[in-house]
Structure 1
C-alpha cells in the first residue's frame, strides 16, 4: 500500500478524468441538439428558424460535437456555457429561484460544466491533443501560454 497522500496518487489521473468528463458532457449536449433539431429521443422538433429554440439546437449540436471531440474546446465550451445561462435566465428563472423548483437543473449543470472546461481545457483523449503534441515545444508554449 502506498504511503503517498491520496491527492498525490489521484493527481496523475486528472487529465484522463477531465477528458472523460468532457466526452460525457459533449455526448449529452449533442443529444440535446439532435433532439431539438430532428425531433428524436422523445422530443418534438423545433421548426427551422424558431427563436430561440432552433438556434439553440444548432449551437448545442455544433458545440456539443466540438466538445466531444476536444476540438476548439474552450471556445465551444464558452459559447455553450453562455447559451445555457441565457436559457436558464430567460426560460426557467421566471418559474422560481432554484433549479429544482423551476425545471432548470439541466441548463444550470451544463452552464457550470462548460465553464469548468473553459478554464481547465479538454483534458486527455482529445482529437486536438495529438496535434498539439506534434508541434515544437516553443510553438505550443506560444499558443497555449506558459506551462504551470
Structure 2
C-alpha cells in the first residue's frame, strides 16, 4: 500500500523544505556567532573561543559561515555537507567519549544538526534560495539574449 499525501500538502513541499533550511541554518549560525563573538550567551555560557584554536574556533567559523550560507540558500548542498561533517566530527571526538548514547553524553544537538544538514544536502535548498533565484535570472538572461532582435 502506497500513501500519497493530499495535493495541498504536496504543494507545500518546497515551502516547508525552504523553511526547514532557513531555520536550521539560522540556528547553526547563532551557535557560531555565540562562540566567535560572545553574543547570545557566548561560548557555552560565556566568553569566546580563542582565535585559531583547534577545533573550537574552526568549528565556530563553520557554524557561522555554513549556517548563513544554508539559511540563505547559497551553495546549499556543499555548505550543508561541510556542516554535517563538522557535527559528525564533534559528536565522535567530543561527545561519544563521555557515553554511548547522545541522551547521556550531551551530543543530541550535534547528532540532530548532522542529520538535518545531511537531509538538506540530499534534498537541496527548496524554494526562495539565493542560488535558485540566481539560476532563474541566468536562465532568463540567456533566453533574452538568444531571442532575435526585433526592429522597431
TM norm structure 1: 0.85
SS at match of 2:97: helix
Task: Show the counterpart of 2:29.
Answer: 30
Task: Show the counterpart of 2:11.
Answer: 12
Tell me, in whole angstroms, the C-alpha distance in 1 between the residues paired with 2:57 and 2:126: 30
Question: How many pairs does the alignment contain?
Answer: 134
Q: CA deviation at 1:74?
A: 0.1
Q: CA deviation at 1:135?
A: 3.4
SS at match of 1:66: helix
Larger radius of gyration: 2
Root-mean-square deviation over aligned CA pairs: 1.6
Off by >6 Å, runs of 4+ in structure 1: none
Q: Which runs of 5+ in 1 are unaligned?
A: 140-148
Deviations 1:82-106 (A, max 9, x none): 0000000000001111111100011
Does residue 70 of structure 2 align to residue 71 of structure 1? no
Task: Show the counterpart of 1:80.
Answer: 83
Q: Which runs of 5+ in 2 are unaligned?
A: 143-152
TM norm structure 2: 0.83
